[in-house]
Amino acid sequence: MVSALPIRVLRAGALSIDAAWNAQAVCSSYWRCYLNGDTGASIVLESGQRYAITAHTVHLIPAWVGFSCHCSQQVEHWYAHFDVVGWPSALVGQAFPRPIALTDSDVVALAVSTASQHERISAVGAMTAASAVCAASLARAWERCPDTKRRPLATLEQAGPLQGIIGFIDHHLDQPLDNRSLAKQAACSDDHLIRLFRQHLGQTPATYVQERRIAAAAECLLNSSDSIDAIASRYGFANRYHFSRVFAKRLGCPPARYRQRDRV
């Protein structure tokens, strides 16, 4: 099931981190994959629980998990940020509520190889290799997830009418996506559409649309120099102020500050 998911790597890199890596109240719409060559870095969840980013271990931080970063010494750090299209935050939070540490030899070996080659291969090659690491890591995390927790995500694939509408939403984020428009696209009533979303995604159509708009806008903030006004307009927000208010409420900081956290 995981291998069929559209995993989209947003960025990947290898660098040395130190105390400058520290950041408070981090939250993103995408997953993070970390591999560190040394000890010294950790994250603290909103609950206060601390997770050490242990060396020679692949760590996954699920999307929408809030945390703070800490690094006490210089550490060699490889990271990849990736999006899993079609996995809503409500269901991700049920299946993967906290970071995941993977010590599986094959996954770690793939990540180590990717990190060591990052600076020596082309940008396309680096992103392709990062995609392989993210897919393998997510697949392993999926295998370890208890069936009762992953079942809602697994059954999402069987929600026939929603598959088309989820793809439609992702390709039309700049257009009006109210319940009536989406119901017409799905050839069903407004009430039936809302029931489908609540049953399979655990949220309303409006919440899902807003989530995907924020995810797309966050990706654009990190990977382009476009103005915040232009990004707000492109992804269906009324104006910059509406965008900034919604963005900060969901991700914990305004768009301008979020843009500075590209390597966290």
| Domain boundary assignment for the chain | 2-153, 159-258
DSSP state of 157: T
Give backbone dihedrals phi and psi of 88, rounded to 5 degrees, phi first.
Answer: -75, 155
Which residue type occupies 22?
N
Model confidence, pTM: 0.85
Residue 27, pLDDT score: 87
Split at pLDDT 50, 70, 90, the class of 41 is very high
User: Which of 112, 153, 118 has its CA nearest to residue 136?
Assistant: 112
Q: What is the pLDDT of residues 11-32, one digit of tens each?
A: 899 999 999 899 888 888 899 9
Rounded Cα distance, 219 and 6, in Å: 15
Q: pLDDT averaged over the chain?
A: 89
Express as a percent the part of the chain with pLDDT over 70. 95
Structure-token pair, residue 104: 């599986």
Q: Which fold has domain 159-258?
A: Arc Repressor Mutant, subunit A (1.10.10)
63 touches 23 (CB < 8 A) = no
- Say whether pLDDT at 90 is over 80: yes
Rounded Cα distance, 98 and 106, in Å: 22
Strands (E), the chain: 7-17, 23-26, 31-36, 41-45, 50-52, 58-61, 67-71, 75-84, 100-102
Residue environment code for 183-205, b if the CB has 16+ CB neighbours within 10 A, otherwise e: beebebeeeebbebbeebbbbeb
Rounded Cα distance, 114 and 116, in Å: 6
Which residue type occupies 79?
Y
**CATH class label, 2-153:** mainly beta
Token pair 């601390």 in the structure block, residue: 50
Rounded Cα distance, 200 and 206, in Å: 14
Count H helices, E strands: the chain?
Answer: 11, 9
Residue 2, pLDDT score: 47
